[in-house]
Amino acid sequence: MAEAIAKHAFTGAGHPPAKATFELMARPTAKTGLISWLTTVDHKKIGMLYGGFAILFFLIGGLEALMIRTQLMVPNNRFIGAQLYNELFTMHGTTMIFLAVMPLNAAFFNLLIPIQVGARDVAFPRLNAFSLWVWVVGAFLLNVGWLSHIVPSWQFGGAPDVGWFGYAPLTSKVFTPDLSTDLWVLGLQILGLSSIVASLNFIVTIINMRAPGLTMMRLPVFCWMALVTSFLLILALPAIAIALVEVMFDRNFGTNFFEVSGGGQPILWQHLFWVFGHPEVYILILPPMGYVSEILPTFARKPLFGYPIIVFSGVAIGFIGFGVWSHHMFTTGMGVVATAAFSIATMAIAVPTGVKIFNWIGTLWGGQIMTRVPMMFALGFIWMFMLGGFSGIMHSAAPADAQQQDSYFVIAHFHYVLIGGATFALLAAIHYWFPKFFGRMVPEFWGKVSFWLIFVGFNCTFFPMHFLGLNGMPRRTWTYDSNMGWNEGNFFATMGAYLLGLGIFTYFAVLVWSFFKGQKCGNDPWDGRTLEWSIPSPPPEHNFAAIPNVHARDAWWYEKTHQDEIAAEKAAHIKAEESHGGIHMPDQSWYPLFAAAGLGLAAFNFAQLHHPVMMMGNQVLSSHLPLALTGGVIMVAALYLWSLEGPGGYHIHLDANGNATESRGDHH
């Protein structure tokens, strides 16, 4: 047993750390400062980087939303023009989904999965860093087009403007000749790569790195949802990757996949996109369901009601989610049989989702509910997500959807599930785990103020949109006429959005304040139930002084009630591990960053192969091919060096007081 535990702590699957033969870059060892962040392989640091970027983009996406709402405040408004508006909603949707909610989830995957499964890091720490930096490259490519609004002589053609699902043939060269669409295609492609790599890593981590005793049926629900989500990602993203390749070829090499004059079928893009797109919405909501399933038991002080059923329904949602994509295409003339089949399949998803709602209520039932801020957001989630789910069911009735599709009713539906659902749960999670990772509490009072502002503002913004949609207001319209009966609804929604913006602002302002000034907290400020609450806040680099032995579903709750038994076990583990050389930790590395940078250089120039970019009246980077190839070579070289360098590693030794000392090179 002790052997297994000691080995378990190993990351990098049994590679004996050896002196690097081809040591081109000395392995960085900095623990603080810029270099430590750039070269880190620590899942917590990577998680925080993901989180920081995601929150930044969430605010940018929100700002874009506020501009959209301002334009729609009054009819025939000329605050912004059609073109800019189209860029705004495209980038708002793309940003919120790919650059805010997905990476925020990735942040929590990184922060929590290794700790909740009782491991010291993810299975492939350098690969994890690679996913992060590749994600940054994708985010850059998507947004770089904005620069041409600031410096008009940079002719990227503005930000992407084809809508977040970029229906062909609008994406073909004939209709959107500018670079923005190429950057959109490549940006999404690269974000997809990042997500697939990250998901593979999480799958292996969850399945293979569990602490002794942590069976799958004891796994925290959050980890289960992360596992299902990771599977959805690796299985759904290839569909859009292929679709994007096809668009890219159409644009650059004259293929005919979606080229109407060559016999292409633009509807194929829709199928491939939604084969990805529908699982994608569950990719956005399953991790939030995980957070809520962690938060509710803590604040109701009861275990999750119906754990196996919640887990199973999560798996079921993921699986059925692959068979309903065409409900986004009810109006494309698929024929009655296909429409009927997808309609019914879509309704079926209500069952496993409902099961989760019922079990959450079951968790509350008979508990001692403490309405702390995270709990308020979690409860808000249940209410709002339920409403959003109901409008989803209304969409699933295909003939009724013929009136709702592409109207504000859809906008209302998906903001209820995406904000009322995903975002509320994320805000709950941020508030809940903030003390764990920063060691400080967020003040309750201001948290509650922000909750109420957000809650009220959100409903004021999006509830009227149901009615706007039923009253015939189409989405993606930069202006509307004053005689359509939409004036009041839009005005009200815009006011709501400002209120919502104020709420979001308050929320994050309070976080920033708490980061510096918040009250310090101990291991377990909420009386939590899972393993992360058993370690110090913020967690040390090696997470656990001793790898825990898991005896029950809520591992830490069990530990708290069986302290003697656990203390003995832990002492034994520590001894065993020290006798094996101490706690093994993976080394930092430059290569993930370099590989990603090479990829960025390659992609950025590849996008421009057919578009010379003008800067200050001159054609700069006149030949992009060499630069693109250089980028490719840098990437492959970095990957090669990465594989030669090996995982490396060093050891941490703990003294009786838990103080750590490090030793390098003592690999025996």
- Region binding other proteins by CB under 8 A among candidate stretches 108-116, 232-240, 505-513, 614-622: 232-240
Given 280, 294, 569, 577, the catalytic residue: 280
- Region binding ligand HEA by CB under 6 A among candidate stretches 34-42, 87-95, 524-532, 535-543: 87-95
Residue 517 binding other proteins, by CB under 8 A: no
Tell me how many residues contact other proteins (CB under 8 A). 189
- Residue 346 bears catalytic tag: no
Q: Which of 512, 368, 488, 496 lies closest to 430, judged by CA?
A: 512
Residue 283 CB, nearest approach to other proteins (Å): 14
Angle at Cα 41 formed by Cα 194 and Cα 184, nearest 5°? 20
- Region binding other proteins by CB under 8 A among candidate stretches 46-54, 102-110, 244-252, 426-434: 244-252
Q: What is the DSSP string of 523-544?
A: S-TT---SGGGGS-SSPPTTS-
**Alpha carbon distance 192, 268 (integer Å):** 20
Given 475, 551, 653, 667, the catalytic residue: 475
Residue 504 binding ligand HEA, by CB under 6 A: yes
- Residue 327 bears catalytic tag: yes
* 8 Å CB contact between 586 and 11: yes
Q: Which is nearer to other proteins, 152 or 366 (CB)?
A: 366
Residues 446-505 close enough to bind other proteins by CB under 8 A: 448-449, 452, 456, 464, 467, 470-489, 492
Residues forming a β-bridge with 614: 619
- Residue 436 bears catalytic tag: no
Given Cu ion, ligand HEA, other proteins, none, residue 235, with its beta carbon under 5 to 8 Å by kind, binds other proteins
Residues forming a β-bridge with 615: 618
Number of residue whose CB is nearest Cu ion: 278
Give residues with Cβ within 8 angstroms of 657, minimum separation 6: none
- Peptide bond preceding 538: is omega within 30 degrees of 0, i.e. cis? yes
Residue 461 CB, nearest approach to other proteins (Å): 12
- Region binding other proteins by CB under 8 A among candidate stretches 135-143, 388-396, 611-619, 657-665: 388-396
- Residue 301 bears catalytic tag: no
* Largest separation between any pair of C-alpha atoms in the chain: 81
Give residues with Cβ within 8 angstroms of 476, minimum separation 6: 86, 89, 163, 406
Q: Which is nearer to ligand HEA, 92 or 570 (CB)?
A: 92
- Region binding Cu ion by CB under 5 A among candidate stretches 76-84, 211-219, 276-284, 584-592: 276-284
Given 39, 94, 148, 194, the catalytic residue: 194
Look-up of token digits 């070579």: 633
Can you tell me which of 11, 39, 40, 90 binds ligand HEA, judged by CB under 6 A? 90
Residue 421 binding ligand HEA, by CB under 6 A: yes
Given 50, 133, 135, 282, the catalytic residue: 282
Residue 466 CB, nearest approach to Cu ion (Å): 18
* 8 Å CB contact between 333 and 267: no
Residue 410 binding ligand HEA, by CB under 6 A: yes
Per the structure block, which two tokens stand in for 603? 């992609």
- Residue 507 bears catalytic tag: no
Contacts of 429-432 spanning 24+ positions with Cβ under 8 A? 429/108, 429/288, 429/291, 429/295, 429/374, 430/51, 430/511, 431/373, 431/374, 431/377, 432/291, 432/294, 432/295, 432/298, 432/374, 432/526
Give residues with Cβ within 8 angstroms of 62, minimum separation 6: 501, 504
Alpha-helical segments (H) within 518-623: 555-561, 563-579, 591-607
- Region binding ligand HEA by CB under 6 A among candidate stretches 255-263, 348-356, 520-528, 578-586: 348-356
Angle at Cα 373 formed by Cα 371 and Cα 376, nearest 5°? 60
Tell me how long the chain is: 668
- HSE at residue 496, side-chain half, CA atoms within 13 A, is 18
- Residue 365 bears catalytic tag: no
Distances from the Cα of 219 to the Cα of 319, 565, 567, angstroms? 20, 21, 22
Contact characters 223-262, Cu ion, x per CB under 5 A: ----------------------------------------
Can you tell me which of 12, 47, 93, 447 binds ligand HEA, judged by CB under 6 A? 93
Helix (H) or strand (E) holding 654: strand 650-654
Q: Dihedral angle at the C-alpha atoms of 468, 469, 471, 474, nearest 10 degrees?
A: 100
Given 205, 293, 506, 537, the catalytic residue: 293
Start-to-end CA span in the chain (Å) = 21
Residue 361 CB, nearest approach to Cu ion (Å): 25
Residue 180 CB, nearest approach to other proteins (Å): 13
Helices 179-208 & 102-116 angle (0-180, nearest 10): 20
Angle at Cα 632 formed by Cα 626 and Cα 637, nearest 5°? 125
Distance of CA 426 to the CA centre of its chain: 10
Residue 629 binding ligand HEA, by CB under 6 A: no
Residue 466 binding ligand HEA, by CB under 6 A: no
- Residue 172 bears catalytic tag: no
Tell me how many residues contact Cu ion (CB under 5 A). 1
- Region binding Cu ion by CB under 5 A among candidate stretches 104-112, 278-286, 356-364, 382-390: 278-286
Can you tell me which of 208, 619, 623, 663 binds other proteins, judged by CB under 8 A? 208
Q: Which is nearer to Cu ion, 278 or 573 (CB)?
A: 278
Interface residues toward ligand HEA, by CB under 6 A: 59-60, 62-63, 65-66, 68-69, 89-90, 92-93, 96-97, 101, 163-164, 281, 284-285, 327-328, 330, 346, 349-350, 353-354, 357, 386, 389-390, 392-393, 395-396, 401, 404-405, 410-411, 413-415, 417-419, 421-423, 461, 475-477, 497, 500-501, 504-505
By annotation, the residues acting in catalysis are 92, 121, 164, 194-195, 278, 280, 282, 293, 327-328, 353, 356, 475
